[in-house]
Structure 1
């Protein structure tokens, strides 16, 4: 194993420290957070770099790092001041958690996570982590509780997926409800659209995406620069799937997907509010699902976080994402943050 990580020195006993920049993380990880080694999109250095640069440019990062033998684990945080920290994530992040070097055994990962919990407690008294998959939530709770932290967990949002291993589009479509299939059939006849799907970044197509988004029901984009930079990055990697639907030459719906490691992820979608009655987004989804299922053949389609009603029509399983609030009772900032949460909970009960 050590030969795979030439720049990561082996440590005989677990050790930890805080890294104060993405550059420091890049140096320490020695390429192990790059695309070839991290299957998870949100576990990669390039994702963390874009998040820090575009979403939290004025917020210090604090990356807890632990190592034993050839194995390392990192917990990327942003320093909120006053002894409080949050996950280095944003509303674009669909899953967050500790990031390990490839091949790290479960028992070693657990040891390193407890080491990180001790290290984090030397600097922060309150920690908020989101969005966590259930198994990640469980391992983080276990590690921090073992180090004396008080942990409050709650389900924060839904997360929808479709299981598509071995399915082409026709087989997938046959499993959808009659309401969705009838809507597509009717709209395709009464309000047809022309669709294009790009697997490389295209400036004109991206301009169409931004036009649709600006005229949609969606709130203002939090960081258009982040979304474009991510699309450019994935276009260069060959994982981008950017769909544009046009009526009479004008863009009316747009979707931004990525496909990688047999997982297709729907990151962004929008249609013009003025076109709502014509369902251009539904017609574009039909085209996107057909293209991805017949050509990319993913095992899973991920519709992201959120419990919007339309997702259930396209997906098979409703999962959840958790939020963790953790307090270190051995420091004033942890006690203060924990007392504030307890007081708010008490007031809510009284108000009922």
Structure 2
């Protein structure tokens, strides 16, 4: 972007080597994620773009919508988003950046200037505890932008380091605990089976079973139906994929899409066949997967992803609020309607 110290790059694969290193690793940061988003999760007419500061000192993945709006390169599947200001090897939102705050602010400054030149940018899926996000928002304020933050979604998780299955189960609410015990006993009588796919072998069959279950579930159609299968295929070679299918009499009854990395098991998608709801297939499969994570993989965190679905409270004890932010230049008339709506929303929240 001329005059800002930022270059625009059209695709993740075209990023310079230093910028790729700045992205680091972790599901919602690495190149595999951005490739999948580019290929299978863009709204009609939208195009990705990456602002790269200097020689790759900072990267901000963005999306130019068909109507010209500029937003973060986030999707309905994104559980976290942040500018890439400090190279790191773990994308977990619970980890603070290893680079001192002053250094982060310096790296964020060209991105903030580019936001000022753009006039209006919407960011989503921001973790308030993320140092890189704080640095960018502070730099935007310093560049004269208004930063309007808003609540977006909760993310439920629980630390299970050192816990075994019995300890974890004992901490569940009584009704859920008894349902799990009763259904697991019934599941052990021979009519059911669990298939877990964690690599390329058998993946096509597992994806077909997952899509069979999803089509017969209570869930609405996916906005981007090709995205999850593409992400599954992308994750399988690295061993991060856990695609679980629970069958009753050989028929897929429940399916779950988990990602395991750096001691954290994150479920991205789950569904069960509504016709088999009386068997509690979703509860059974969740219990089987968590028991496996605790007894065989020694997972330290269970993460139920974005959203405040009521069932998550039974499986995880901690909720973290994720936010969005509008970055707007108050001197540009284009941002005034958004500023007015934001102020009205705050007034309504205060009076309710």
Flag whether TM exceeds 0.5 (same fold). yes
Q: Which residue of 1 aligns with 2:71?
A: 86
Q: Which residue of 2 aligns with 1:134?
A: 128
Q: Decide whether aligned partners of structure 1 residues 109 and 30 sit closer, same or farther in structure 2, where only a CA change above 3 A counts.
A: closer
Work out the CA distance in 2 between the residues paired with 1:307 and 1:334.
30
Q: Which residue of 2 aligns with 1:10?
A: none
SS in 1 for 2:58: strand
Q: Decide whether aligned partners of structure 1 residues 321 and 166 sit closer, same or farther in structure 2, where only a CA change above 3 A counts.
A: same
Once the two structures are overlaid, the 10-residue window that deviates more, 292-301 or 165-174, is: 165-174
Q: Which residue of 1 aligns with 2:27?
A: 41
Work out the CA distance in 1 between the residues paired with 2:249 and 2:86.
51
Q: Which residue of 1 aligns with 2:172?
A: 176
Q: Decide whether aligned partners of structure 1 residues 23 and 278 sit closer, same or farther in structure 2, where only a CA change above 3 A counts.
A: closer
Work out the CA distance in 2 between the residues paired with 1:31 and 1:84.
25
Within-5 A mapping of 1:52-71: 52-56=38-42, 58-67=45-54
Q: Deviations over 1:277-296 (max 9, x none)?
A: 22011001111111122222
Q: Which residue of 2 aligns with 1:98?
A: 83
Shift of 1:234: 1.0
Q: Which residue of 2 aligns with 1:7?
A: none
Shift of 1:190: 4.6
Work out the CA distance in 1 between the residues paired with 2:254 and 2:289.
12
Q: Which residue of 2 aligns with 1:330?
A: 331
Shift of 1:81: 6.0
Q: Which residue of 1 aligns with 2:11?
A: 22
Q: Deviations over 1:262-314 (max 9, x none)?
A: 11111110001112222011001111111122222121111101111111111
Q: Which residue of 1 aligns with 2:104?
A: 109
Gaps of at least 5 residues in structure 1 are 1-14
Aligned residues: 331
Q: Deviations over 1:229-273 (max 9, x none)?
A: 110111111111111111111000000101111111111100011
Gaps of at least 5 residues in structure 2 are 88-97
TM-score (structure 2 length as normaliser) = 0.85
Work out the CA distance in 1 between the residues paired with 2:183 and 2:82.
41
TM-score (structure 1 length as normaliser) = 0.85
